[in-house]
Structure 1
Amino acid sequence: MAGRRRRQRSKNKHKTASRSDIPSGPTTVHQVPDHLLELVLLRVGSSVALVRVAFTCKRWRRLVADTAFLARFRSLHAAHVAGHYHVVDRPYREKLPPDGNNQNQVFVPDPSAADAIDRCHFSLDFLPECDGSSSWELADSRGSLLLFYRARTNWTGRLRFPDLVVCEPLSRRYQGIAYPPAMRLHLCFGAFLLDGGAVDETGGCIGMSNFRVIVAVYEYVAHARAAPRACVFSSGADGGWSLRQRAAGSGSGGVPLSWFGLINFVGRTRWSLYWTMERDGAVLSLDESTLEFSLAMFPDAVVGWRDELSTFWVIGGEDGAVRVVRMINRGLTVFAQLQGGGEWVTEKVVRLRPADIVAANERYVLLTPRGQTCLFSVELDTLQAESTHERNRCAGAAYPYELPWPPVLQACCAADDTRRRRYR
């Protein structure tokens, strides 16, 4: 009987101890286990919000900085566009306030992030100085990087293979790229940034140590014929310049080119770059994955006639489809090419007064009324035209700028609160 009472007291003691482990009162987020908290953090809307989450506490910062978490987050969320760098054509530059050495580019924050962005962090005053006869011109953007070129012209004023600079404004780092001596005399009709050769373990694919630059050059072949060539620069210790070879057995490289002055860049999609030529319906295309040129034939109703090139622009979209924006009489029309069949259909029409397209992307089209110098834009999602947006002061192309990935976080070490460690 006594032994039974002792066993009962022992059981009651264990029950009391186990109940004492349960916190009294309502539970908080601190009682949520890591694997469940990660599921919550993966649903944060953008990389800007993710950085704010990381500053909540040491535990959240540790979870956000984990390599596996960053890779999963990037697979679920598109890169965050902080804003656009706008190229300001020369007649419009005098209307802008002075801004260091680079008045030909203006950063305009995205409306969704304007309150959280300090423009001073996107300044380009750290770029190397040019002599008085030239300046750095913005050529392209990719991820968190910008590509600039310094024009080198021949005696006719045509652009030779340029000096280049790749930079990351938020970290204020840059890398100069000298032109290859073998290409010194070649004419250039475009310079672009491409992702590097490998995707890192956090989902990032471009950075100052992992990028490529492609320069499209105009090469004379023989008998007044010319062909396009792709010259590619790869970053890293094993990188450098390489020149794509012409197609075997083809004296003109497989793609005969127009006279140099008749080649005009008209936009890009997710995988290709496009230039119009003097031939009706013929568009020069460069595949970014194979780095090969080809001729793409567009219907006359889509591309327009030779004297209507200022009304034609190629854009892409999140679905990867090729789209064309064109002014037809008093209508801004968006054509889309159906995937698989190649058929073109009219997707959207906006009634406008006659205008020329200055620049376009998958989000909006920048236009100027014919015979005037004022600007207005049309949002392609809402089909609304407006003239008060800040971007309408910049009569030039607009290049999206994404926040660097993976984000850089300052985290305290658990062993010593006075020491800090950088997580990337």
Structure 2
Amino acid sequence: MAGRRRRQRSSNKLKLKTASRSDIPSGPTGVHQIPDHLLELVLLRVGSSVALVRAAFTCKRWRRLVADTAFLARFRSLHPAHVPGHYHVVDRPYREKPRPDGKNQVFVPDPLSSTADAIDGRHFSLDFLPECDASSAWELADSRGSLLLLYKTRSDWTRQLRFPDLLVCEPLSRRCQGIAYPPAMRLHLCFGAFLLDGGAVDDTGGCIGMSNFRVIVAVYEDVAHSRGAPRACVFSSGADGGWSLGQRAAGVPLSGFGLITYVGRTRWSRYWKMERGGVVLSLDEATAEFSLVMFPDTVVGWRDEFSTFWVIGGEDGAVRVVRMINRDLTVFAQLQGSGEWVTEKVVRLRPADIVAANERYILLTPRGETCLFSVELDTLQAESTHERNRYAGPAYPYELPWPPALQACCAADDRRPRRCR
């Protein structure tokens, strides 16, 4: 009898435990049970736009979240543009005829890029550009975002100085657009052509694309007695775009055209060295206005010496000048607000000349030699084995297009995918 009661009590306890467990609500058991707002926080921490596109192909739900305009805007605000590599100009000797294939650009992947092994270099080929005749070729002038700006050169050197034929292209989508020159400027001498962001900024953080870009061309106008003045011409894309011819900067006198040498850029301005000394010509990209800027002789070199320097800038917007002083590669920085110049970095090298420079590295050649080596600005380490050291011309960074193109279901009840950018 006592044994029967004990078995009954045990049975009752088992029933109570089973009942209590069945009352507990079931929680998430996998990634697909994570709420949308938490999944968005996870996707926002994906390292690059390439990884984000890969994540979007996981399922329709992830694709829908990634393609959302608000999500793309938040992602771009947290992650800088992804640069898989640079387009290098294969610099040719003076007056040499164009190569038989008509090309002088090569894409060099960045070995430090997180997608260096994931992107096929063939996608960056420029073999889709319009063909040129035997006496002309497309030369790279500038890059901005996912676009490249090219101009047409000709074997006749005097014709290369005139206002050039221009073309804007996007290598990954293999699209291009020719830009007809303004007839009124055809005979003016050109000393620079550059890409700018378009006037409109979309909700996803994108600011430049084949339908939204500007081109600014700097031209030299003769005034009198071998003197001239600069003028900026701006082209805007779109149905309402076209050329806008700026006023001649009569208050900015220039010496002969042959004395103007491009020496680099910062975040918002372009710079040209005109004569020996610290007088530098500056072009403000926002206003398309020219001005003369005086750099200290201690920064760019004394008036009676031949000094090579390069102007660079970074994300902080500060103006920096790189110069070789004897055997020291020196980086000067202008303090914002005060305008004071300070020595920021110094590295001792063998005697060399600066060939090109940007905010990441300096390309140099030893004096009296033809080989090249580079110095990383972050580490001040010199190396000569990188592929970029094979090309003596300037290098232009290339960013992956933004926003990325996705086949997304933007509504939960819509089964028809549509292309979202």
For 1:135, what is the secondary structure of its paired residue? strand
User: How far is the alpha carbon of 1:19 from its aligned partner?
Assistant: 3.9
AA matched with 1:277: M
In the aligned structure 2, how far is the partner of 1:32 from the partner of 1:72? 20
CA contact (8 A) 2:91 2:391 kept: yes
- Flag the 1:310–1:411 CA change in 2: closer, same or farther, 3 A: farther
For 1:38, what is the secondary structure of its paired residue? helix
User: How far is the alpha carbon of 1:158 from its aligned partner?
Assistant: 5.7
- Flag the 1:296–1:154 CA change in 2: closer, same or farther, 3 A: farther
- Flag the 1:397–1:169 CA change in 2: closer, same or farther, 3 A: same
- Flag the 1:309–1:199 CA change in 2: closer, same or farther, 3 A: farther
- Count of residue pairs brought into register by the alignment: 398
CA contact (8 A) 2:144 2:197 kept: yes
Q: Does 1:220 align with 2:217?
A: no
**TM-score, normalised by the number of residues in structure 1:** 0.88
- Flag the 1:336–1:155 CA change in 2: closer, same or farther, 3 A: closer
- State how 1:204-283 maps to structure 2 within 5 Å: 204-246=206-248, 253-283=250-280
Deviations 1:141-169 (A, max 9, x none): 00000000012687746600000000000
For 1:59, what is the secondary structure of its paired residue? helix
Q: Does 1:22 align with 2:19?
A: no
AA matched with 1:114: A
Q: Does 1:165 align with 2:167?
A: yes
The range that moved more, 162-171 or 349-358, is: 349-358
In the aligned structure 1, how far is the partner of 2:408 from the partner of 2:215? 34
User: How far is the alpha carbon of 1:79 from its aligned partner?
Assistant: 0.7
AA matched with 1:262: L
Report the equivalent of 1:3: none
AA matched with 1:293: F
CA contact (8 A) 1:152 1:161 kept: no
CA contact (8 A) 2:83 2:398 kept: yes
CA contact (8 A) 2:356 2:364 kept: yes
Report the equivalent of 1:109: 109
Report the equivalent of 2:12: none
AA matched with 2:164: P
Report the equivalent of 2:34: 32
Report the equivalent of 1:175: 177
In the aligned structure 1, how far is the partner of 2:304 from the partner of 2:145? 35
In the aligned structure 2, how far is the partner of 1:103 from the partner of 1:345? 41
In the aligned structure 1, how far is the partner of 2:289 from the partner of 2:155? 26
For 1:232, what is the secondary structure of its paired residue? strand
In the aligned structure 2, how far is the partner of 1:257 from the partner of 1:131? 35
In the aligned structure 1, how far is the partner of 2:257 from the partner of 2:420? 49
Report the equivalent of 2:403: 406
Candidates 126, 129, 138, aligned match of 1:127: 129
In the aligned structure 2, how far is the partner of 1:309 from the partner of 1:110? 34
Deviations 1:67-108 (A, max 9, x none): 01001111111111111000011259x9xxx9x945410101
For 1:81, what is the secondary structure of its paired residue? coil
AA matched with 1:315: I
Give the percent of matched residue pairs that are identical in Structure 1 and Structure 2: 84
- State how 1:233-382 maps to structure 2 within 5 Å: 233-246=235-248, 253-305=250-302, 311-382=308-379
For 1:213, what is the secondary structure of its paired residue? strand
CA contact (8 A) 2:88 2:391 kept: yes
Report the equivalent of 1:76: 78
In the aligned structure 2, how far is the partner of 1:42 from the partner of 1:415? 24
In the aligned structure 1, how far is the partner of 2:60 from the partner of 2:356? 45
Larger CA Rg, structure 1 vs 2 = 2
- Flag the 1:318–1:18 CA change in 2: closer, same or farther, 3 A: farther
Any gaps of 5 or more consecutive residues in structure 2?
1-15
The range that moved more, 309-318 or 384-393, is: 309-318
User: How far is the alpha carbon of 1:43 from its aligned partner?
Assistant: 1.5
In the aligned structure 2, how far is the partner of 1:33 from the partner of 1:277? 61
AA matched with 2:130: P
Report the equivalent of 1:195: 197
Deviations 1:327-356 (A, max 9, x none): 110011110000000000000011111111
AA matched with 1:358: V
Report the equivalent of 2:92: 90
- Flag the 1:153–1:277 CA change in 2: closer, same or farther, 3 A: farther
- Flag the 1:52–1:156 CA change in 2: closer, same or farther, 3 A: closer
Alignment root-mean-square deviation, CA: 2.4
In the aligned structure 2, how far is the partner of 1:102 from the partner of 1:403? 25
User: How far is the alpha carbon of 1:34 from its aligned partner?
Assistant: 0.6
In the aligned structure 2, how far is the partner of 1:157 from the partner of 1:168? 27
Deviations 1:223-254 (A, max 9, x none): 4431000001000001111111136xxxxx11
AA matched with 1:396: G
The range that moved more, 223-232 or 134-143, is: 223-232
For 2:224, what is the secondary structure of its paired residue? coil
In the aligned structure 2, how far is the partner of 1:311 from the partner of 1:223? 28
The range that moved more, 147-156 or 348-357, is: 147-156
In the aligned structure 2, how far is the partner of 1:110 from the partner of 1:311? 27
In the aligned structure 2, how far is the partner of 1:107 from the partner of 1:52? 23
CA contact (8 A) 1:310 1:356 kept: no
CA contact (8 A) 1:316 1:323 kept: yes
CA contact (8 A) 1:310 1:357 kept: no
CA contact (8 A) 1:314 1:322 kept: yes
In the aligned structure 2, how far is the partner of 1:307 from the partner of 1:64? 59
In the aligned structure 2, how far is the partner of 1:169 from the partner of 1:78? 20
In the aligned structure 1, how far is the partner of 2:419 from the partner of 2:84? 23
CA contact (8 A) 1:151 1:160 kept: no
Any gaps of 5 or more consecutive residues in structure 1?
1-11, 248-252
User: How far is the alpha carbon of 1:32 from its aligned partner?
Assistant: 1.3
CA contact (8 A) 1:281 1:299 kept: yes
